[in-house]
Amino acid sequence: MGAFEYTALNSGGRKNRGTLEADSAKAARQQLRAKGLIPLEVTAASESAASGGASILSGSPGLSVKALALLTRQIATLLRAGIPLEETLGAIANQSRNQKVRRIVLAVRAKVMEGHSFAQALAGFPRAFPKLYRATVEAGEHSGHLDDVLERLADYTENQQVFRQKVQLALIYPLVLVVICVLVVTGLMVYVVPDVIEVFTGTGQQLPLATRILVSISDFISAWGWLIPPAIIALVVGWTLLLRRPGFRYHFHHRLLDMPAVGWLVRGGQSARYVGTLAILTGSSVPLVQAMGIASGVMSNDFLKERLQIAQKFVREGGSLRRALEDVEYFPPMMTYMVASGESSGTLDQMLVRAAENQERDLQGAVTAFVSLFEPIMLLVMAGIVLFIVMAIMMPIMNMNQLVV
């Protein structure tokens, strides 16, 4: 029995959309007619999910981290309660209020009922279920501990969601502050400063340097300020297009790692992602070499990704993981020490978990500190700009007073 998404007219002539299960599209239409609905369109849920919610670039629908975390926790909970996978997916689809989640879950359930494995069914939606997710599920199916593996995935995705929410909430006030600062300064430059400065220029006296700079900025904003938003948009689009070129992106990612403050944050984030992925995969009985390949595939930095592929080859040829990570040169020493301890004691999977927790904790602390500093820095910048404007206006007044005396 498969899942079908339909569009039908009710007795009042209104369009109804929904999803139902049937053996075929013909049977789905019969069910709709039995409910007093006139079917307009009936499409297999897998086809609908792959096209209706698809991204233009990717061709498949995606899920937010929050939705994925909730879905994973629900599946893990029901499986641990002894409910078969097909019934679990059906129950989640029936109670889900998110139509995108409902379509995807029903499409996955249809694949599972056709005889595909859970991981194979998830592979039809690569943006909704990343490579790490699918590989971990596949390992759980092979080991017979799918519920335990999904519990790990649920914890992982929920931790990601919690951290992301903390950063977003912390950034709300500083970003509002930036917007207000830009609007206030623009308003002063366009409407207030020209009228005030005009009084001094009419006297014919030599204006101070700060005042002349202020006048030049005000004239530029008044004349060409409308070009600033399109120019910013053009720069963003141009930079995005440049980053799509593999050669440019590779060199930029390399330089990014060596930048003083930003590079440290990038290295910390990439290290946390890599060791966290390794911890989940090795803990789910995925062989180390295969886990390294998957973990390098989820990295967003092309330069590090290439170095980690070389490290994977080194381990495949019999080298140690510690030595391979040291050769990459961009991982924290504490992480490599913990990996070395795990290899020597035979508890690599446990030490990878600890290393991942330690790296995540360090990264969260660094990001929290950065966000906390952003607010006072913006206040100082605003104060400096306002002080400059006030001083540029007051200096001609003071000069006039001196001339009168």
CA dihedral 191, 193, 198, 204 (to 10 degrees): -160
Range ranked top by mean pLDDT from 131-135, 141-145, 191-195, 332-336? 332-336
Tell me which of 106-120, 153-167, 259-273, 335-349 is least confident: 153-167
Q: Which of the listed residues 111, 136, 159 is the one where a domain comes to its end?
A: 159
Q: Could you tell me if residue 142 is inside a domain?
A: yes
| pLDDT above 90 coverage of the chain, percent | 9
Q: Are strands 38-44 and 15-22 parallel, antiparallel or unpaired?
A: unpaired
Residue 53 CA to residue 103 CA, distance in Å, equals 9
Residues 35 and 103 reside in one and the same domain: no
Number of domains in the chain: 2
Residue 101's CB is within 10 A of a number of other CB atoms, namely 23
Residues 138 and 97 reside in one and the same domain: yes
Which helix (H) or strand (E) segment is 401 a member of?
helix 348-404
Q: Are 53 and 43 in contact (CB under 8 A)?
A: no
Q: What are phi and psi of 4, to 5 degrees?
A: -130, 135
Residues 92 and 150 reside in one and the same domain: yes
Q: pLDDT tens digits for 384-399?
A: 888 888 888 888 777 7
Q: Are 285 and 142 in contact (CB under 8 A)?
A: yes
Q: Could you tell me if residue 104 is inside a domain?
A: yes
Q: Is the pLDDT of residue 70 over 70?
A: yes
Query: Does the pTM of the predicted model rise above 0.75?
Result: no
Which helix (H) or strand (E) segment is 391 a member of?
helix 348-404
Mean pLDDT of 63-78: 87
Q: Is the pLDDT of residue 233 over 90?
A: yes
Comparing CA positions, the residue from 395, 385, 8, 14 lying closest to residue 181 is 385
CATH of the domain at 72: 1.20.81.30
Burial of 210 (0-12, 13-18, 19+ CB in 10 A): middle
CA dihedral 275, 148, 62, 309 (to 10 degrees): 30
What is the band of 400 on the pLDDT scale with cuts at 50, 70, 90?
Answer: low
Distance from chain centroid for Cα 310 = 27
Please compute, for residue 345, the number of CA atoms within 13 A of its CA located in the half-sphere on the CB side.
Answer: 12
What is the band of 202 on the pLDDT scale with cuts at 50, 70, 90?
Answer: low
Residues 69 and 133 reside in one and the same domain: yes
Q: Which of the listed residues 140, 159, 178 is the one where a domain comes to its end?
A: 159
Cα diameter, the chain: 98
Q: Which residue has the higher pLDDT, 304 or 6?
A: 304
Q: Are 303 and 254 in contact (CB under 8 A)?
A: yes
Comparing CA positions, the residue from 177, 227, 209, 217 lying closest to residue 193 is 217
CATH of the domain at 14: 3.10.20
31 lies in which domain range? Answer: 2-44
Q: Could you tell me if residue 170 is inside a domain?
A: no
Q: Which of the listed residues 114, 138, 159 is the one where a domain comes to its end?
A: 159
Question: Which tokens go with 277?
Answer: 């992925």
pLDDT at residue 56, as a whole number: 34
Q: Which residue has the higher pLDDT, 127 or 25?
A: 127
What distances in angstroms separate CA 228 from CA 57, 175, 222, 288, one per listed residue?
Answer: 29, 19, 11, 51
Q: Could you tell me if residue 150 is inside a domain?
A: yes
Q: Are 181 and 113 in contact (CB under 8 A)?
A: no
Q: Could you tell me if residue 308 is inside a domain?
A: no
Q: Could you tell me if residue 109 is inside a domain?
A: yes
Q: Could you tell me if residue 174 is inside a domain?
A: no
pLDDT at residue 401, as a whole number: 61
Which residues make Cβ contacts (< 8 Å) with residue 248, sequence separation at least 6? 242
Q: Is the pLDDT of residue 53 over 60?
A: no
Residues 76 and 155 reside in one and the same domain: yes
pLDDT at residue 366, as a whole number: 80
Q: pLDDT tens digits for 80-106?
A: 888 888 889 888 888 887 878 888 888
Q: Could you tell me if residue 8 is inside a domain?
A: yes
pLDDT at residue 242, as a whole number: 92
Residues 27 and 112 reside in one and the same domain: no
